[in-house]
Every structure is written in C-alpha cells, then in structure tokens.
Amino acid sequence: MKRRGILNAHLSEVVATLGHTDQLVIADCGLPVPPDVPVVDLALVHGVPTFAQVVAALADELVVQRLTVAEEAVHHNTDALEVLRSAFPEVPLDRVPHEQLKHELPMVRAVVRTGEASPYANVILECGVPF
C-alpha cells in the first residue's frame, strides 16, 4: 500500500506517464471533454472533490511550467485563480477565452474531472522537469 500521495490508481498511472510539455487538465464537472481524450473521473457529487483539493494533490506530485485558464475566470471565479496562484506561485499563468481553452482539449494527455460546480474552474497544466 502507498504511504502517501495520490491513491486513485488511474490518476496515479496518468501522472507517472507524463513527460516534459505534456498537458493535463483539472476540470469542473461541466467541462465538455472530447471523446478521444482520457478522463480520470473523480466526481462523486457536486462539490466533491473540490477543484482546490485536486489542485493541491496534483501540485504535490507534478512539476508544472505553465498554467492556462479561461480569462472569464478573472471576473467569474477568482477563488479558482487564488487556488492556482497559491499552489503554483512561481508558474506563469496564461489566460485565453474559454472557447479557446475548450479547443485545446483534444491535444491534452488526460482530463481530471472534479466535482467542482463553480464556473470556469478549469486549468491546463503543462508539465516541466525537475532538473
């Protein structure tokens, strides 16, 4: 049995296979995911697990070199932005229109679906390297 870290077997496998510049999305429960993109569905009910909980768990496991969020979050979900800035204080944060963020989804390695039910609680994490 693992001593610490991510216990979800599917999510742990996805994290272990990520390489430099690969992208992983943490999504609210409503983000439409293209059919060919793998989904690690953690959602149980609205609000469980939260966006913040999943961000914290992945921040502890991943080297991230860039974040991309919907620019609409600036006005409609400042809490999600604060969660990201707290978890990744040194990482550049790009803002794009929500429609553009959705158009980038076919190129990501996987989407982690949370139970988050607040608007624009989505982020594309671009993996870095620890050296």
For the annotated catalytic residues, the residue numbers are 20
Report the DSSP beta bridge partners of residue 27. Answer: 113
19 burial type by CB count under 10 A (0-12 exposed, 13-18 middle, 19+ buried): exposed
For the chain, report the end-to-end CA distance as a whole number of angstroms.
Answer: 29
CB of 26 closer than 8 Å to CB of 123: yes
Please report where in the chains the tokens 């994490």 appear, as a residue. Answer: 125
Residues in the chain: 131
